[in-house]
Structures are given as C-alpha cells and as structure tokens.
Homo-oligomer: A and B are copies of this chain.
Amino acid sequence: MRATVFHGTRDVRVEEVPDATLREPTDVVVRVTHACICGSDLWPYRGELLIYGETGRTGHEFMGVVEDVGAEVRTLKKGDRVIAPFAFSDGVCEYCSGGLHTSCVQGGYWGAQNDGGQGEAVRVPWADGTLVKLPGEVDLTDSRLAAAVATLTDVMCTGHHAAVSAGVGPGATAVVVGDGAVGLCGVLAAKRLGAERIIVMGRHEDRLAVARTFGATDEVRERGAEAIARVQELTGGGAPHVLECVGTGQATETAIGVCRAGGTVGHVGVPAEPISLMDVYGRNIALRGGVAPARAYQPALLADVLAGVIDPSPVLDVTVGLDGVPGGYAAMDERRAIKVLVEL
C-alpha cells in the first residue's frame, strides 16, 4: 500500500510500504478515506521534535472504513465507517474508564513504527476501545460534513479539551491564546459550552475571520506585554478561563498573564520550553490540561456535528489527495493553509 513516510527536515514522501494487516485478534484494519495534517506533524517536518522517529510513518488523524476484523473484535464489522482518535486505547483500563484514554495502560500513538494516518490503511489496536462508529446514514460524500467529522480525530477534541480544562461554562468570559486550528476549535468549543465573551488572541486576519464565525466576541492582535495589558483592560483584571493553544514559552506566559487571579489556564499546546511558575504561584492560577483524551469527547462532539450544532469544518481550508500530502505540509509550514484535509 502507499503511505507517507518522514525522512528528515522538510522531507516527507508518499511511498510504497508493507500492507496494514491484522496482528492481534483485537485489531481491525481500516481503509482510510480522510486524513488530516496536524500542527504537531510540523515539528518533525521543521526538525524540532522527532515524534515519528528518524524515519517512520506519519499522521495521527484519520477516518475510514473497516476492511478486516480480528477474531476477538465484538462491536465492529467489515464496512463500518469509523473515526479514530489520535491515540489508541483499550477502553477498559482505569484511565479509559475515567475518561483519560491518552494514559491507557495498553495504549499508544499512531505513526513511527505503527501505521500512520496519512496512508491508505491502518492497523488499529484495541479496535473496540479505540474506534467510534459513524451512523450508517451519514453522507460523507458531502465534503463539508466529512471535513467537520474529520476534525474530531484530533483538533476539535483538543480545542474542546482546552475549554473543558479551563473550566468554561455558561456565561463565562474566556480568552483563547492562538488563532491556529486548535485555537479556532477552542473558540468553537467555548461557545458550545456557553461562554458569553470569547476573546481570541492572534494576528492572522483570515483566521480571526473564522474565529468570529465560531463565536469570538473580541480580538487582540498585540503580542507579549502589550497583549496582556490589552486583555487586562478588556476584562478588568484578566479572564477566569484561558485556553492556551500554542505551547511556546511566550504563549504560555501570555496565557498566565491574561488569567484572572484564582482563574484557570487550560493548556493543550505542547509545552516546548520550561516556564516560571512565579506568577501562577503569586496569583493562585491553576494549570490544567495536556494531551486531549479525544476518545472521551468524540461521541458527544460527533452527535453535535451530525445535528448541525457545531461545524468545525472551516479549519480545514485546503484539501489534497494522498499524493498531495508533501505539498500540504509545505502549505501549512508556510502558513498558506490553516490545516489540510487529505481525501483518499
């Protein structure tokens, strides 16, 4: 089969690899119909963090059709349409039962030495625990709907995790740090959870336009100390709920700086740099969040996508075929795309 393989900085290639096959009786093989390129796929692409190893399969966001079913799989059959979360998990351990599937004792991540999402097929471990089945009547030839569903493999769940971790609820005032795809989904998630005021911090006009359609009420384009001062002014001393959706040291310090004393920063950006906790300490700001347990959130978010309550599809603003994946990486790297959908 064909799949995308990481070879080095700014060098990903679509090439022939061994077919995905059943290995354990709890596996299924999924033929991929849609995949996405994630902001975190850009780390190895830019030579920053080798999440796919020195040379390994790429992609952790995919959906598709069940093609082959292991003997012990109980809930899935050939032909079922499924979405995957960006980590696999057994669905039954202490952590999965508690909604923290990313800490599953038998879990793991796609790509590297496992099959990656940016290819024709994927072996899925713990298929009963990992996959979420789509209702039969969903029309994935509707490309807007397919894109909206595809966001549930990671980015929409990650934005939602930021909002949940930040404690956003009805009537809340929330600040979203970052106007990338995760930040935009954070805006949509905050709106869905009932936030009344959503201040988005970013500086890309096309992305801020999406933020407005997702429910952002205010935009702050400044950076650093100026940005913090502006949010402090808008909120009379900071917001009680802040979604950190970038991960750099500066973004994290900004998120803490715009948080009200006693408030909560929900962080989902990979924390690339060490940070000082002095301001957090002095003002009793809680830091919650981390890698999103997407599997825990998929059923409820899927129901809302299918019911038309939320439509995260605008974050996927460029679509390519499998051969277009390397070009899709370049488009995201050069900020010509917010996020790329791959249709197979």
A293 interface residue, CB < 8 Å from B? yes
Decide if B274 touches A281 in the complex (CB within 8 Å): no
A285 interface contact, C-beta 8 A: yes
Q: Are B267 and A271 neighbours in the complex by a CB distance under 8 Å?
A: no
Residue A79 lies at the interface, judged by CB distance under 8 Å to chain B: no
Candidates B95, B276, B281; contact of A291 at CB < 8 Å: B281
A283 / chain B contacts, CB cutoff of 8 Å: 103, 290
Known: A100-B261, A100-B262. A287 touches B284 (CB 8 A): no
Chain A residues with a Cβ closer than 8 Å to the other chain, count: 29
Contact (A284, B277) CB under 8 Å given A95-B261, A262-B95 = no
Contacts of A285 in B (CB 8 A): 290
Contact across chains for B293 and A289 when beta carbons are under 8 A apart: no
> Which one of B95, B282, B290, B293 contacts A281 once the chains associate, using CB atoms below 8 Å?
B290
**Pair A274/B276 contact, Cβ less than 8 Å:** yes
A321 is an interface residue with CB less than 8 A from chain B = no
**Chain B positions within 8 Å of A95 at CB level:** 261-262
Nearest chain B residue, comparing its CB with the CB of A277: B271
Expressed in whole angstroms, the Cα–Cα distance for A281 and B269 within the complex equals 8
Residues of B within 8 Å of A267, CB to CB, are 277, 281
CB-CB under 8 A from A103, the residues of chain B are: 261-262, 283-284
Q: Does A98 contact B (CB under 8 A)?
A: yes
Question: A285-B290, A286-B288 are known contacts. Are A271 and B276 too (CB-CB below 8 A)?
Answer: yes
Tell me the chain A residues, 82-102 only, with Cβ under 8 Å from chain B.
95, 98, 100, 102
Please state if A100 and B284 are interface contacts (CB–CB under 8 Å): yes
Output the least CB separation between A253 and chain B (Å). 11
Whether, in the assembled complex, A278 has its beta carbon less than 8 Å from a beta carbon of chain B, the answer is yes
For residues 174 through 201 of chain A, which have their beta carbon under 8 Å from a beta carbon of chain B? none
Residues of B close to A121: CB separation below 8 A: none
Q: How far is the CA of A267 from the CA of B282 in the complex (A)?
A: 11
Q: Is A275 at the interface (CB under 8 A from chain B)?
A: yes
**Which B residues lie within 8 Å of A277 (CB)?**
252, 267, 271, 274-275, 287
The reply to whether B290 and A287 form a contact with Cβ atoms under 8 Å apart is no
A140 to chain B, nearest CB (A): 31
Assess whether A148 is interfacial by the CB under 8 Å rule.
no
Point out the residues of chain B lying under 8 angstroms from A98, CB to CB.
Answer: 262
Q: Is A138 an interface residue (CB 8 A)?
A: no
Task: List, in ascending order, chain B residues with CB within 8 A of A274's CB.
Answer: 274-277
Contact with B along A279-309 (1 / 0, CB 8 A): 0111111111111010000000000000000
Choice from B275, B278, B282, B290 contacting A282 with Cβ under 8 Å: B290
Mark A residues whose CB is within 8 Å of B.
95, 98, 100, 102-103, 252, 261-262, 267, 270-271, 274-278, 280-291, 293
Q: Sample 26 A-B pairs with CB under 8 A, ordered by A number.
A: A98-B262, A100-B261, A100-B262, A102-B282, A103-B261, A103-B262, A103-B284, A270-B281, A271-B277, A271-B278, A271-B280, A275-B275, A280-B287, A280-B290, A281-B289, A281-B290, A282-B290, A282-B291, A283-B290, A284-B289, A284-B291, A284-B293, A285-B290, A286-B286, A286-B288, A288-B288
Q: Given contacts A267-B277, A274-B277, A275-B275, could you give 11 more A-B pairs where the C-beta distance is less than 8 Å?
A: A95-B262, A100-B284, A103-B283, A103-B284, A270-B278, A271-B280, A282-B290, A284-B288, A284-B293, A287-B287, A288-B288
